[in-house]
Amino acid sequence: MSSAHVTPGSVPGPKLAAHFASLEVQKHAARLGMWLFLATEILLFAGLFACYAAYRFLFPEAWAASSRSLDLTMGTINTVVLITSSFTAAMAVHYAKEGKNKMVGHMNVLTLLMAVGFLVIKFFEYKHKFHIGTLPGRYYFYEGIQLPGAPMYFSVYFASTALHALHVVIGMTVLAFATVRAYRVGDFSANNYTQVELGSMYWHLVDLVWIFLFPMLYLV
């Protein structure tokens, strides 16, 4: 069933696992599990942020010069794209609660399109850096910035943005599953929207991490 609005009782509700006392407890456990998972993801990026802070303190001039070599326009566009995609992901949860499955699918499709746009822009950024030689570590050969610490800046840049891009792809996969379910099964409703909610939570993490990366890398 894939109608725009699902009438309560017209589709089967969520299944209760045997080890949960009720659906409410099951939903709470799912949310708690996602929050704990997101906390571990934040710890993962926190290690990179700590490296960033340490090397920025050691090489402030190289950090400032390297940051100015980045394409601020592309970085800004990507920031706007991700913030907008978080809005559409949140709207998918809103429509899921109302049982409007087609709108859930539409919102997720918009989110996925913006995610693709983000990755395409990042691809062109990477391509330019490979061309001019602003690469990590011993692969750095850019003549425009010959300061101690510049190769380390781009090591941190590529490590953090590539890891973030991987999370974008993972988030797209999660949202794609919810999108297919919304269109084909159409069973999201006020009592059954956990999958959409958890996918949206993960996508907000992707957005949040970039909100930190953008000023750290592009605006220092």
CATH code of residue 79: 1.20.120.80
- The C-alpha atoms of residue 163 and residue 156 are separated, in whole angstroms, by 11
Asked if the model's pLDDT at residue 66 lies above 70, the reply is: yes
Average pLDDT over residues 29-41: 87
What pTM did the predictor assign? 0.87
Average pLDDT over residues 19-46: 80
| Residue 186 included in any domain | yes
User: Which residues in the chain belong to E strands, given as ranges?
Assistant: none
Number of domains in the chain: 1
| Residue 11 included in any domain | no
- The C-alpha atoms of residue 105 and residue 177 are separated, in whole angstroms, by 10
Q: Helix, strand, or coil here: 98?
A: coil
Between the CA of residue 214 and those of 3, 21, 211, 219, what are the distances in Å? 40, 44, 6, 7
Asked if the model's pLDDT at residue 113 lies above 80, the reply is: yes
| Residue 49 included in any domain | yes
- For the chain, give percent helix, strand, coil, nearest 5: 75, 0, 25
| Residue 65 included in any domain | yes
- The C-alpha atoms of residue 165 and residue 97 are separated, in whole angstroms, by 29
Average pLDDT over residues 120-132: 95
| Residue 138 included in any domain | yes
Average pLDDT over residues 156-172: 96
- The C-alpha atoms of residue 219 and residue 72 are separated, in whole angstroms, by 8
Between the CA of residue 73 and those of 77, 122, 218, what are the distances in Å? 6, 12, 10
| Residue 117 CB contacts under 8 Å (≥ 6 apart), including other chains | 81
- Give the mean pLDDT of the chain: 89
| Residue 4 included in any domain | no
| Residue 14 included in any domain | no
For residue 66, how many other CB atoms are within 10 A of its CB? 26
What domain range includes position 166?
26-218
- How much of the chain, in percent, has pLDDT values that exceed 90? 78
- The C-alpha atoms of residue 220 and residue 218 are separated, in whole angstroms, by 6
Tallying the residues shown for the chain, one arrives at 220
| Residue 165 included in any domain | yes
Between 160 and 185, whose confidence is greater? Answer: 160
Q: Which of these ranges, 92-96, 143-147, 202-206, has the smallest mean pLDDT?
A: 143-147
